[in-house]
Each structure stands twice: as structure tokens, then as C-alpha cells.
């Protein structure tokens, strides 16, 4: 007797689709909030949370995404506040970093003394 093949069950299509959120990405919301607040010393986590009017249960997700943006180099933390990281392109545009200058003149060549230079 030959055993009957087992029926292959395929997962439903809805389970394979990525979830659809009714809000933008947290990283986009954070960057938008910091840009809109324009605080000189950066924006605290509490101010960012209040700016976007998110419920308090979003606090952990906000903390996680702030850490992610900080580790990726997009944000810098200064005294418990977050602000945009200075990028190389902005330094060039505003002229805050002067280009490095080279040496003034090349070093002198060393003289070699051989036995033929001395008279015998």
C-alpha cells in the first residue's frame, strides 16, 4: 500500500503582505518634528512626543527609533536633547571648515658626501 500524499497548505495571501500603518514612519515623524521645532539646543524626547500628539504608549517606540537614528548618524544627542547631526555637506556650504593647506615648500634635499669630493 502506498501512503497518500499529504495536502500542502499554503498560507493565506494576507499573511504574506506587510502590515499597513495609518501613520508615517517614526523616523520621518521624528525628523519632521525636530525640523519644525527648530530649537537651537535640540529637542527633548518629551517635546517631540508632544509635538506629534502621540499617545503615551508610543513612548517606547519613540525611544527605540531615537536610538536608531542616533546610531545611524542622523541625530546627535546633546544634554538629553536631540538635534540634527552636522554633515560634511553642510560644513562645506556654510564655510565653517576651512580647507587644509599643504606645506609651504618642499623639504631640502640632503647632501651626500662621497670620497671623491675630498682632495687627496
Structural domain of 89:
23-94
28 domain residue, yes or no: yes
68 domain residue, yes or no: yes
In angstroms, the CA 65 to CA 59 distance is: 10
74 domain residue, yes or no: yes
107 domain residue, yes or no: no
84 domain residue, yes or no: yes
Q: Please provide the DSSP assignment of 67-90 as one string.
A: HHHHHHTSEEEETTEEEEPPPHHH
CATH number at residue 68: 1.10.10.10
**84 strand-pairing partners:** 75
Cβ–Cβ under 8 Å, residues 50 and 30: no
In tens, the pLDDT along 34-92 reads 888 888 888 888 887 777 776 667 777 778 888 888 888 888 888 888 888 787 335 44
37 domain residue, yes or no: yes
Residue 53's pLDDT is what?
Answer: 72
10 domain residue, yes or no: no
Residue 93's pLDDT is what?
Answer: 44
Number of domains in the chain: 1
Amino acid at each position: 500500500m502506498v501512503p497518500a500524499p499529504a495536502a500542502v497548505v499554503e498560507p493565506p495571501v494576507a499573511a504574506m503582505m506587510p502590515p499597513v500603518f495609518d501613520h508615517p514612519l517614526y523616523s520621518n515623524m521624528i525628523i519632521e518634528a525636530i525640523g519644525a521645532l527648530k530649537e537651537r539646543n535640540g529637542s527633548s524626547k518629551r517635546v517631540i512626543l508632544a509635538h506629534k500628539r502621540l499617545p503615551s504608549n508610543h513612548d517606547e517606540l519613540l525611544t527605540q527609533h531615537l536610538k536608531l537614528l542616533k546610531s545611524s548618524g542622523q541625530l546627535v544627542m546633546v544634554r538629553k536633547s536631540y538635534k540634527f547631526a552636522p554633515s560634511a555637506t553642510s560644513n562645506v556650504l556654510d564655510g565653517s571648515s576651512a580647507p587644509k593647506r599643504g606645506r609651504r615648500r618642499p623639504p631640502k634635499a640632503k647632501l651626500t658626501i662621497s670620497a671623491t669630493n675630498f682632495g687627496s
